[in-house]
Chain A
């Protein structure tokens, strides 16, 4: 994986949307790469702009008292005022008592904080476990799509702009999903994405965007139109992130469904 790819994961990680695998890979890389650590820190700072744009809302005043323990200090001052210099020992005793009480409160909060952190870690691990389970299910479903007796294959051939390219679509008509393997596609520029189109009806429908590394890519497509409606599949190069409808007719690979 390149530094640029790690930095793309860092962008997702900063907003809490990196997958567990991506997070793990990133952590390993950051341990050895100061530049990517710097970029990760910049993304972490940048994402807080979402919060910094919110209109502030004042929390209740009593919350401030609870948080900064100002009440104890005020009580000591009040005690000193009430009893004057002749009862200085009473104010001192009150101050000591409140200081001890404050430290006890702080210690309890720290313990609650530790407990809360441990609970959060347990929840995180449980979620990661669930996500890994989901990924396993997804991979199993993809394997099933490849191995199923009902699976149909569609070959997409390289066109004029990429004659050496090709793709193979493994389509499960009943589940209305497919796995598509692309080979020998040229790498897309940073500001571009490949976009797979399904032609079914009047207008092409986007089936997803993808990047090509080392000539190859794989994507899974869900919620396909019913197989009898699919007339053809094609891939174009579009602005980064994809578009609602193709902006050009320079097809990289294309094939008729013939179902």
Chain B
């Protein structure tokens, strides 16, 4: 399968050369995914917007460190956003707030006004559907362990406590889940 993520990997190298148009294009293409990720991690729009801004500032200043051989630019941007989101989560101890607010649905306007081209949007949507299908193939126990680590930044022992499962079991589930994700990745390269 061809991948639009790979085919659009020219944006960040252009950003590294100081191309503001490429920077704007990268924002238009990826900000929706990154903002959704940060909302999932942080649970509130104000923090998510602050971290999204920091993410793009870091992308602008560190674009020269992006290496297309090591991974796609969307993965590079997601890694920056996720790392900053988890840092924010920990520094502001939002985790305890989120636990207090458990069960409260966060209302997020999902009227996605896409500034990417129609063709780009169609490809990205197709890929999202394919990604969700791949995630749906993961056994629930593995997916839950991975999501707790990825979206809440929990350690192995914290996940073990949360799920009331032995540490070894949690570790094995995460390793198996990651192997399956890595296998599925081949379809998106």
Contacts and interface: CB of A to CB of B under 8 A. Distances in A.
B71 A44 contact: yes
Contact of A45 (B58, B75, B86): B75
A137 B183 CA distance: 38
A43 B79 CA distance: 12
Contacts of A131: 155
A54 B171 CA distance: 24
Given A42-B185, A49-B185, A14 B168 contact: no
A15 interface: yes
A14 B36 contact: no
A236 interface: no
B142 to A, nearest CB: 8
A45 B169 contact: no
B27 A47 contact: no
Contact of B151 (A50, A60, A64): A50
B140 interface: no
Contact of B128 (A15, A52, A67, A113): A52
Interface residues of B, number: 82
Interface string A213-244: 00000010100000000000000000011100
Contact of B33 (A19, A54, A116, A127): A54
Interface SS of chain B = helix
B135 A49 contact: yes
B185 A46 contact: yes
Contacts of A11: 174-175, 178-179, 182
B54 A116 contact: yes
Contacts, number: 198
Nearest to B31: A59
B96 to A, nearest CB: 16
Interface in B55-97: 56-58, 60-61, 70-72, 74-75, 78-79, 81-84, 86-87, 90-91
Given A44-B75, A46-B182, A116-B54, A12 B175 contact: yes
Interface string A37-66: 000011111111111111111111001101
B166 A208 contact: yes
Interface string B140-167: 0110001101110111110100000011
B127 interface: yes
Interface in A1-22: 8, 11-12, 14-17, 19
Interface of B: 20, 23-24, 27-28, 31-37, 39-40, 48-49, 52-54, 56-58, 60-61, 70-72, 74-75, 78-79, 81-84, 86-87, 90-91, 108-114, 127-128, 131-132, 134-135, 141-142, 146-147, 149-151, 153-157, 159, 166-169, 171-176, 178-179, 181-182, 184-185, 188
Given A16-B153, A51-B34, 9 more contacts: A15-B174, A42-B182, A49-B188, A53-B134, A56-B32, A68-B27, A113-B61, A210-B168, A241-B176
